[in-house]
Amino acid sequence: MQNFWKALRASSILGAIGAVTVLLFGGWSSAVMGWLLGTAAGYTNSHDGLWPKPKIGAQMGAKTGLILGIWLAVASLVEGLIVRPLSGQTAISFPQALQYGLLGLVMAVVWSTVMSTIQSLTDPVQRRRMTWLLMALFLVVFPMVDQRAATGWIATVIQILIFAMLALGLNITVGYAGLLDLGYAAFFAIGAYTTGMLSSPHLGIEWNFWIVIWIAAAVAAIAGLVLGSPTLPLRGDYLAIVTLGFGEIVPIVFRNLTAIRIVEPISGLFATLLNRPELAICLVGCEEPLNLTNGEAGINPIGRPSLPFLGTFRSDNYLPWYYLVLLLVVFSVFMINRLRVSRLGRAWTAIREDELAASAMGINRVNVKLLAFAMGATFAGFAGAFYASYITAIFPSVFDFSVSVIILCMVILGGLGNMAGVLLGCVIIMGADRLFLPQLAQVLKGFLNTTVLPNIANPALRDFLAISFDPIQMRLFLFGLVLVVMMIVRPEGLVPSARRKAELRSEDPVVNESLADVRSV
């Protein structure tokens, strides 16, 4: 009985998430959710080797999966038989809805059992290896499953992965080195524009994507150094304001680099003094001013990657894009993890903890801080290059302040300094923003049009209702609300790093003592 409650608790949050998703999307989404959430449930309710034997783990996993599956099955039936007709979509037959629901249930039970069994393996090496294997399998086959289930989520997943790279990069600067950067989108923009300028007919330079992506990362890293150097003596609030300014300047610069003419300065001075313009030696934009970024209209089209056998990546086939961005994210995770445990990573932690003590230990704080900016920016450069090539068009307005803030929110929501947390925060925010809300808007609109509005006689009320129920309009409000609640309820993030947790949980007597100690000094 106790086990039952444990299973129920473990699967209730995931079950609710799954049910909402199925209610909105319907169809085979229950199967996809059963697979995804079943695996997650199997992991969360049994990691840390909670259960001594694989057999018990499997039993618990099956129970958890069953409860989760019931959520999904019920949601499938409700969606097919009630939500669909009410929101103006064609209803589906009971057997069909049952089929959707049952597959979801089976998937949930199977994957929860499998994951739970793996999690209760006694050998930690084996356990970790199997978990990784299962996750890798998951990521690799996801596009196929998505295609079979006709859920059409892959385009959003690619967006999520782009932002995952950005969040991981920002986590270096903010999470590891403790340097608050409010202008991170600038590096994203620099990566994207570098790619745009180097592989587009706009300037007549069309280099190969596989070369340009490295150049973009390098240029972003250099921009990181450029931003880093004036901020070296600054801390906290002041640093945040300078980075904010940088984030504002960069898109404006790209917006305005439309008519460049550079004259060699000495001859230019003579030309002005002698009032003989023909003396000036022109270097750039001589015949007509050079239009570097095409202003608000942006750079379009931008070259796409191509591979032997596969040919050039196409916009109607998401698979190669998915695998490319997945590869980039995996590469980022690997690299950042290596950095974290390296000498440089330890130096970042030390600088964050106590700058003066760190430099008394012989840490070169100038280099260490500059490298935190540069390494963070590098990953934004990769993300920018991929983004530019994937969308094939870039505009300055894409890289405004709200992007920096959203990335920062992912890092904070998930847990500063913890990569798994940051990735989770990214999935939650982007998933809610790009997947849930648009679908919710659509379903709500259908519901209003077919069920509510025809039954309302008063035309003024009808008009009011028709325009005021749009979740997309409320996205920033919802977003802000979530953040406020998070900061009050769980300031250390969803998956905090052990260090951050100690820092923020003030009721921890141990930390209180150390703070009191510092104060008395």
Partner 1 sequence: MLELIDVHTYYGNIQALKGISIHVEPGEVVTLIGSNGAGKTTTLRTIQGLLRPRQGKILFEGQDLSSSSSPEIVRLGIAQSPEGRMIFPRMTVLENLEMGAFHRQDKAGIQADMERVFTLFPRLQERIKQKGGTLSGGEQQMLAIARALMARPRLLLLDEPSMGLAPMLVNQIFSIIHEISDQGTTILLVEQNARMALTVANRGYVLQTGEIVLTGSAKELQVNETVRKAYLGEE
Rounded to a whole number of angstroms, the CA Rg of the chain reads 27
Q: Which residue number, 304 or 369, has a Cβ lying nearer to partner 1?
A: 369
The piece of 67-75, 455-463, 487-495, 509-517 that touches partner 1 (CB under 8 A) is 509-517
Q: Which of 79, 146, 492, 503 binds partner 1 (CB under 8 A)?
A: 503
Residue type present at position 189: A
Q: Which is nearer to partner 1, 359 or 439 (CB)?
A: 359
Taking CB under 8 A as the binding criterion, the range among 136-144, 196-204, 219-227, 353-361 that sits at the site for partner 1 is: 353-361
Question: Contact letters (x/-) for partner 1, 409-438, by CB under 8 A?
Answer: ------------------------------
Measured from the CB atom, is 51 or 348 closer to partner 1? 348
DSSP string, 479-503: HHHHHHHHHHH-TT-SS--HHHHHH
> Min. distance of Cβ 124 from partner 1 in angstroms?
18
Nearer to partner 1 (CB atom), residue 126 or residue 342? 342
> Residue 229, interface with partner 1 (CB under 8 A)?
no
* Of 495, 259, 250, 498, residue with least CA distance to 397: 250
Is 75:19 a contact under the CB 8 Å cutoff? yes
Pair of tokens at residue 7 = 């299973």
**How many whole angstroms separate alpha carbon 318 and alpha carbon 290?**
35
Question: What's the full length of the chain, in residues?
Answer: 521
Q: Binder to partner 1 among 53, 286, 343, 451 (CB under 8 A)? A: 343
- Which residues on adjacent β-strands are paired with residue 206? 199
Question: Residue 520 interacts with partner 1 (CB under 8 A)?
Answer: yes
Least CB distance from residue 176 to partner 1, whole Å?
A: 13
Among 334, 354, 449, 481, binds partner 1 (CB under 8 A): 354
Distance CA 125, CA 117 (A): 14
- In a 10 Å sphere around its CB, with 0-12 CB exposed, 13-18 middle and 19+ buried, how is residue 408 labelled? buried
Tokens representing 12? 């209730």
Pick the stretch among 202-210, 264-272, 392-400, 506-514 that binds partner 1 (CB under 8 A).
506-514
Q: Return the residue of 56, 78, 134, 502 that touches partner 1, per CB under 8 A.
A: 502
When the beta carbons of 308 and 362 are compared against partner 1, the nearer one is 362
- Helices 154-170, 419-430: inter-axial angle, 10-degree rounding: 140
Q: Where in 49-78 is the site for partner 1 (CB under 8 A)?
A: none
Tokens of 60: 């618990």
> Which residues pair with residue 12 across a beta bridge?
none
Which residue type is seen at 33? Answer: M
Whole-number Å distance between alpha carbons of 393 and 202? 11
Binding of partner 1 by 341 (CB under 8 A): no
What is the full DSSP assignment across 206-269?
E--HHHHHHHHHHHHHHHHHHHHHHHTT--HHHHHHHHHHHHHHHHHHHHHTTSB-EE-HHHHH
Please report how close the Cβ of residue 337 comes to partner 1 at its closest, in angstroms: 17
Distance CA(445)–CA(428), nearest Å, equals 24
Q: Toward partner 1, which CB reaches closer, 154 or 347?
A: 347
Q: How far is the CB of 71 from partner 1 (least distance, A)?
A: 40
Q: How far is the CB of 238 from partner 1 (least distance, A)?
A: 17
- 507 forms part of the interface with partner 1 (CB under 8 A): no
Q: How many residues bind partner 1 (CB under 8 A)?
A: 28
| Cβ 501 to partner 1 shortest distance, Å | 10
Binding mask 359-378 for partner 1 (x = CB under 8 A): xxxxxx--------------
Among 107, 347, 429, 435, binds partner 1 (CB under 8 A): 347
Q: Which is nearer to partner 1, 166 or 358 (CB)?
A: 358
State which residue, 384 or 417, has the beta carbon closest to partner 1: 417
> In whole angstroms, what is the distance from residue 295 CA to residue 189 CA?
13
Nearest-5° Cα angle at 327, 225 to 423? 70
Q: Does 489 bind partner 1 (CB under 8 A)?
A: no
Closer Cβ to partner 1, 360 or 467, answer by number: 360
Distances (CA, A) of 40 to 34, 108, 138, 327, 362: 10, 10, 11, 22, 44
The residue whose two tokens read 């300014």 is 245
- Minimum distance between the CB of residue 126 and partner 1, rounded to whole angstroms? 26
Distance CA 350, CA 359 (A): 9
Q: At a CB cut-off of 8 Å and minimum separation 6, what does 43 contact? A: 115, 119, 131
Residue 350 near partner 1 by CB under 8 A? yes
232 sits near partner 1 (criterion: CB under 8 A)? no
* Sole binder of partner 1 in the list 24, 145, 358, 441 (CB under 8 A): 358
Say if CB 410 and CB 489 are below 8 A apart. no
Beta-sheet pairing, 199-200 with 306-307: unpaired
Interaction of residue 237 with partner 1, rule CB under 8 A: no
Note whether 349 binds partner 1 by CB under 8 A: yes
- Least distance between partner 1 and beta carbon 418 (Å): 14
**Residues forming the site for partner 1 (CB under 8 A):** 343, 346-347, 349-350, 353-354, 356-364, 499, 502-503, 510-511, 513-515, 517-518, 520-521
